[in-house]
Structure 1
């Protein structure tokens, strides 16, 4: 796969959005900001978010919605690579933020669900109804791990519900083309989950003792991060250690596309034919572009 370096010098980039004007908006988790990258690689800071802005997506009102983990990582330098480390003692939880591109106003929509603080919101995707599915990655503590979950919330701040609880490390999230399935990648299990949707914003009952259907676990020592879905239904998940993108077919078969970074964190599709793909290579602070072999699924909203 031929890749082109678009820009570098980011502080752990994530959450890329392919905008209608050809620019990319992305988060910088370590940098605590939202950044726009023009096609020629020029960078502009849109807003300082604080915390740890992780995933980002355009909502039904044209605003940018951000899953902010609240600063759930310390940052380690390993031979010049930026690596997420333990959760600092100062971490109290994360939030869902809304950034208005027209006015420059940043607001917080959600910090809790049913009286329980969000731990580390990670990634999000909007359905056709304009609601968002998002993952809470949880976080580590000296005593063990705080589990995460899968949530659904309305973009106007009026409703949030926890649809699956006690997931180990849910990260990337996406919808199948028919929006009957929500996918979530578990980082530490290297597992892609599929959850059946009963109605908009509501999951069906879990299958037996499992929280969802297992599409596949990756072999050996690998991690999974954020994801995007192809128009044909394959789920493309950024892969850590085995750096690159792993495309999962719903039948469980996979193919891997290598990228020169151990910590690839996300992919987004765009362009006229939806075959342009941008990949965040986070430990080296780079944004790459490539031509994907198949078109990506067009998201429900853009700006």
Structure 2
């Protein structure tokens, strides 16, 4: 496979790439406490000052972006990085003009809450993973995946132990998420706030599953994070392993309309593009009321 093109470097622990439809990709910069736009030529433009630890992003129906903000935590070597501006874990909306507001719902379970990733469903419901207190891995609390309605209220949730992380809808209409501490990918039948029982889809051979996405052919791409690899599944079977190299730490991915798989390398501080000739899966959007709107 041809080596990926480095679209942009110097990013401050990038995560949560989102294809913007104009050739650009939005990325959250966890250690920059911000969300940024990366143009096709690599130009990086700030979109919003989030504070805390922006961890994932999703495009809204009117061009706004939604951010899962874990409150200000990231791994750093053998310890943890804490943001200069700590806040309660939350979902934020970043409007095209740069205004950042907070979606109001309280997450189930004990604090601290560590919202990690998010995506919209076909009906406009916003689904968010809360990884719980992953700074306490030996005694980590069960996390949750939470369904948020257009009015900002919680429609329902499902408890997921062992650090629920990346989340995306599959072409079969199910909600897929990674369970980082078991190396598994799970799938749920969902309808608004109702969750079915999870089904194990696959288990990564190594690494720790982080973000994931689908292409239009139904192939599943799972970032292996500390395993420095992207694992490609077809029909639940491992079809390909894309090695990314030591010190990259692929954190999350998205498919572009240009046939490329865009991947954030957390440790390397890069957004890279693999020219795979893929077709992106159908995208879903929605809009959610925030505290400023209430």
TM-score over 0.5 (shorter chain)? yes
Please name the residue that 1:216 is paired with: 202
1:188 aligns with 2:181: yes
Structure 2 unaligned segments of length 5 or more: list them.
287-294
Inter-partner Cα distance in structure 2 for 1:143 and 1:271: 41
1:198-277 to 2 correspondence within 5 Å? 199-204=191-196, 206=197, 212-219=198-205, 221-260=206-245, 261-272=247-258, 275-277=259-261
Equivalent residue, structure 1, for 2:292: none
Distance 1:91 1:35, change over 3 A: closer
Return closer, same or farther for 1:178/1:148 CA change in 2, 3 Å cut-off.
same
Q: 2:167 is matched with which residue: 145, 169, 173? A: 173
CA shift, 1:240, in A, is 2.1
* Structure-2 residue corresponding to 1:52: 53
Deviation at 1:74, TM superposition (A): 5.4
Helix, strand or coil at the partner of 2:237: coil
What is the deviation of 1:222?
1.4
Give the secondary-structure state (helix, strand or coil) at the position aligned to 2:7: strand
Structure 1: segments with no counterpart, 5+ residues: 77-82, 207-211
List per-residue Cα deviations over 1:75-126 (Å, max 9, x = no partner). Answer: 34xxxxxx773779x967400000111x321100035136865611111111
- Measure, in 2, the Cα distance between the counterparts of 1:249 and 1:28: 30
Match of 2:289 in 1: none
Q: Structure 1 residues 248 and 162 mapped into 2: Cα distance closer, same or farther (>3 Å)? A: farther
Equivalent residue for 1:80? none
Matches within 5 A, 1:8-23: 8-23=9-24
Secondary structure (helix, strand or coil) at the match of 2:167 reads strand
Q: Is the 8 A contact 1:32 1:48 kept in 2?
A: yes
What aligned pairs does 1:1-303 form with structure 2 within 5 A after superposition? 1-2=1-2, 3-73=4-74, 75-76=76-77, 85=80, 93-101=88-96, 103-110=97-104, 112-113=106-107, 117=111, 119-138=113-132, 139-141=134-136, 144-157=139-152, 159-179=153-173, 181-197=174-190, 199-204=191-196, 206=197, 212-219=198-205, 221-260=206-245, 261-272=247-258, 275-301=259-285
**Residues of 1 paired with 2:215 and 2:254: CA distance?**
10
2:291 maps to none
TM-score (norm 1): 0.85
- Contact in 1 for aligned 2:171/2:282 (Cα 8 Å): no
TM-score normalized by the length of structure 2:
0.87
Aligned alpha-carbon RMSD (Å) = 2.5
